[in-house]
């Protein structure tokens, strides 16, 4: 093991057996002995990377791509089918907060129990007990039975234990998503503090922003394969490419357009470049056109066309409609396209989705609505965090002359 590395993963593969109907009793096992009813499934294939001491590496990928499985293999909960993991130092994992909690016991007893499950000696816990409780903000509740805790309190205590015992390696699986905003911010601060202190962190989050913020490097997993490893922003970029290529976010397939006979339906929504081609990626700040194709069963003159753009966390970052543009289209029977031309789209780099809806004027009823009708990627040079990307100028101004010495 290289002396600078905290974690080394060598050619790690993990195979699961997927049982159709799992036999857990003797009779079933005997009856099903010959025709074994499972399929093999490789959740991880030849994963190979290292994490240097003090480094924070993120893991991104779609649901089911093997992120949690990888973390569990590293944490020693699952044994790899082949390959190995080398770890240096005390490891603490935040895979599921409060997993070891015993609801009948008090918070105090649970702190000790949970810490000793993580392999932390009692005297260490005693030393840090107040710190742990203070971090969880549970001073008044620490002697209450854990079963009376709110789910947020539960999670906070679990987080506080795992993080305040000074592990050398911390494994975090999407746990920052729980807890209220202030607590999330506090956790992030704590993670930063640990990073400064040289803790090695392996981090899974579904938020590209958070991954970019926290990690220096990241691994992209796709169906158990490591398809990318490199700087966090490049990794997120590559992850977004996967999403776009597979049109994973498009709702097309799941949309049920038949069935009830609508007066007007949205047939498709597409993003067009200024030259009129359908595209799935555009540069931030350039102009774009959203084309909504509809099919009308009869003539209508009370239609309001709405388009929205939402980012990957579901926030609507842009919305417009024909009424607010003071455009009142008259729809004839048949199909047609309505184009929204956006002069500049100053969005931060990332994956976005366009929604479209046709509303009956003066009501809140939609004739039809098509969410996530098309997915596209905005390419921004800076790869900054945030929602908008807009030209910025920066200048240094020295104020020395005003300072009297």
Ligand X SMILES: Nc1ncnc2c1ncn2[C@@H]1O[C@H](COP(=O)(O)OP(=O)(O)OP(=O)(O)O)[C@@H](O)[C@H]1O
Please give the residue ranges that form the binding site for Mg ion (CB under 5 A): 68
Residue 269: which of 327, 350, 380, 352 has the closest Cα?
352
Looking at 47-55, 60-68, 79-87, 193-201, which segment touches ligand X (CB under 6 A)?
A: 60-68
**Pairing status of strand 264-272 against strand 288-296:** antiparallel
Looking at 64-72, 122-130, 298-306, 353-361, which segment touches ligand X (CB under 6 A)?
A: 64-72
The one among 38, 50, 116, 207 contacting another protein by CB under 8 A: 116
**Minimum CB separation from ligand X for residue 301, in Å?**
46
Residue 65 interacts with which of Mg ion, ligand X, another protein, none, CB < 5 to 8 Å by class? ligand X
Query: How many residues does this entry show for the chain?
Result: 405
Q: Exposed/middle/buried for 178, CB within 10 Å: 0-12, 13-18, 19+?
A: middle
307: left (phi over 0), alpha (psi -120 to 50) or beta: beta
Binding status of residue 69 toward ligand X by CB under 6 A: yes
Q: Which residues pair with 379 in a beta bridge?
A: 283
CB-closest chain residue to ligand X: 68
51: left (phi over 0), alpha (psi -120 to 50) or beta: beta
Residue 24 interacts with which of another protein, ligand X, Mg ion, none, CB < 5 to 8 Å by class? another protein
Indicate the residue among 177 and 337 with the shorter CB distance to ligand X: 177
CA 106 to chain centre: 33
Q: Which residues pair with 370 in a beta bridge?
A: 356
Residue 63 interacts with which of ligand X, Mg ion, another protein, none, CB < 5 to 8 Å by class? ligand X
Q: How many CB atoms are located within 10 Å of the residue 41 CB?
A: 11
Residue 12: which of 87, 80, 86, 88 has the closest Cα?
80
Write out the binding residues for another protein, residues 69-98 only, by CB under 8 A: 72-91, 93, 95-96
Residue ranges binding another protein (CB under 8 A):
1, 3-4, 6, 16-17, 24-27, 29, 53-54, 72-91, 93, 95-96, 99-100, 102, 104-105, 109, 112-113, 116-119, 121-122, 166, 168, 196-199
Residue ranges binding ligand X (CB under 6 A):
16, 18, 41, 43, 61, 63-69
């Amino acid at each position: 093991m290289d002396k600078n590395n905290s974690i080394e993963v060598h050619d790690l593969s993990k195979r699961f057996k997927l049982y159709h109907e799992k036999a857990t009793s003797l009779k079933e096992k005997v009856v099903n002995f010959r025709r074994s009813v499972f399929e093999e499934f490789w959740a991880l294939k030849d994963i190979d990377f290292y994490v240097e001491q003090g480094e924070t590496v993120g893991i991104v990928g779609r649901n089911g791509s093997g992120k949690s499985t990888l973390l569990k293999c590293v944490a020693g909960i699952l044994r790899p089918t082949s390959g190995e993991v080398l770890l240096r130092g005390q490891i603490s994992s935040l895979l599921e907060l409060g997993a070891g909690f015993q609801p009948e016991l008090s918070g105090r007893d649970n702190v000790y129990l949970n810490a000793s499950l993580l392999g932390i000696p009692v005297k260490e816990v005693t030393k840090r007990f107040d710190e742990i409780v203070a971090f969880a903000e549970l001073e008044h509740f620490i002697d209450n039975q854990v079963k009376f805790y709110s789910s947020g309190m539960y999670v906070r205590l679990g987080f506080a234990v795992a993080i305040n015992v000074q592990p050398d390696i911390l494994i975090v699986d999407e746990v920052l998503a729980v807890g209220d905003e202030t607590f999330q911010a506090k956790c992030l601060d704590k993670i930063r503090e640990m990073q400064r202190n040289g803790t090695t962190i392996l981090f899974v989050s579904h938020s590209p922003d958070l991954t970019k913020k926290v990690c220096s490097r990241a691994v992209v997993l796709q169906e158990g394969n490591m398809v990318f490893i490199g700087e966090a922003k490049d990794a997120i970029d590559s992850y977004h490419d996967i999403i776009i290529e597979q049109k994973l976010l498009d709702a097309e397939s799941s949309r049920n357009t038949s069935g009830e006979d609508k007066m007007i339906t949205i047939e498709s929504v597409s993003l067009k470049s200024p030259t009129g081609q359908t595209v799935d990626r555009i540069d931030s700040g350039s102009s774009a056109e959203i084309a909504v194709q509809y099919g009308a069963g009869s003539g209508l003159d009370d239609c309001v066309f709405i388009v929205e753009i939402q980012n990957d966390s579901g926030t609507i970052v842009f919305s417009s409609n024909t009424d607010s543009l003071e455009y009142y289209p008259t729809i004839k029977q048949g199909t047609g396209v309505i184009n929204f031309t956006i002069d500049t789209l100053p969005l931060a780099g990332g994956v976005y989705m366009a929604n479209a809806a046709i509303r009956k004027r003066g009501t809140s009823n939609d004739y039809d609505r098509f969410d996530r009708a098309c997915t596209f990627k905005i390419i921004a040079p800076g790869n900054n965090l945030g929602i908008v990307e807009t030209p910025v100028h920066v200048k240094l101004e020295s104020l020395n002359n005003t300072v009297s010495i």
